[in-house]
Amino acid sequence: MIEAKGAVMNSQESAEDPRPGGEQTPPRKKTRKRALIAAAVVAAAAIGGAGYAATASSPTSATASAAAASSASSASAPAQAGSGGGSGSGSNARSGPAEGGTTGTVTAVSGSGFTVTTATGQTATVTGTSTTSYLNGTTPASSSAVTVGQPVLVLGTVNSTAITASQVVVQPPGSGSTPSTASQVVPFQQGAQSAAKQSGQVPADYTEGSGTIVSGSTADKATEAALAAYPGAVVDRVVQLSDGEYEVHYIGVNWPHHVFVTADFTVAGAD
């Protein structure tokens, strides 16, 4: 269509402006140049319009870009400490393995460790390592001291009910007597609601999930104190609160869930 229009214009120009000698030579180069320029303008407009239409009618691209930017921002943002239960992070993480332990009776022994069953029937699998220390009462011993039927205290890194032992005490001191608080521990029952009660002194400003997880001898001492007072559970973490006390977190029982231990490792209360 553009070339045809150019041909008509060329014919008109020749008729109105005859060349000397009566020869009428149409300015083809000029006309063709104009035609090419017009075609380029039309093509550019078409491309620009198509790009605009694609952008306007396809919000998916913009949304995907925004989502990617948001995802990158979330991944690089520091995790919030102090969140309770399940999936916290930072120094107060609640999802990863932490130091704790359990007490109970050895019910099976294998080449890599043993199984211990607590006073409430909770079972934990204990694995020994080359660095695990063993005591028979207060006397240094070897892994051979662990036999079926023996009462034990296990301290180490806890992941649910699997414990990698740092220390195993066979016939721990006080294992022959039952603390008066043992009868208060409520065994776990599938589908049963957790008991809502308190015993002793619970920090007035305590918020579940607060504090910072501790390890080493501090976690061991707090775990041992809590299990001596309230046997039957597995301790899966020990948390130091802002007032210096420790919250020892229980699993495998319906009550208690938190045992509070003072800075000098005396049990103060539970809820």
Strand 162-170 vs strand 199-200: parallel, antiparallel, or unpaired?
Answer: unpaired
Amino acid 264: pLDDT = 97
CB 135 within 8 A of CB 168: yes
CA distance 141 to 132: 11
Per run of 10 residues, the mean pLDDT along the chain (length 271 residues) is 42 42 46 48 44 41 41 34 33 72 97 95 96 96 97 97 97 69 79 79 88 96 96 96 96 95 96 93
3-state secondary structure of 125: strand
* Whether this model's pTM surpasses 0.85: no
pLDDT in the model for residue 61: 43
Residue 175 three-state SS: coil
State whether residue 168 is helix, strand or coil.
strand
Tokens 């046997």 sit at which residue?
231
Catalogue the E-assigned strands of the chain. 98-109, 113-117, 123-127, 133-136, 139-141, 151-159, 162-170, 186-187, 199-200, 212-213, 234-240, 246-251, 253-255, 258-261, 267-270
Q: What is the pLDDT of residue 220?
A: 98
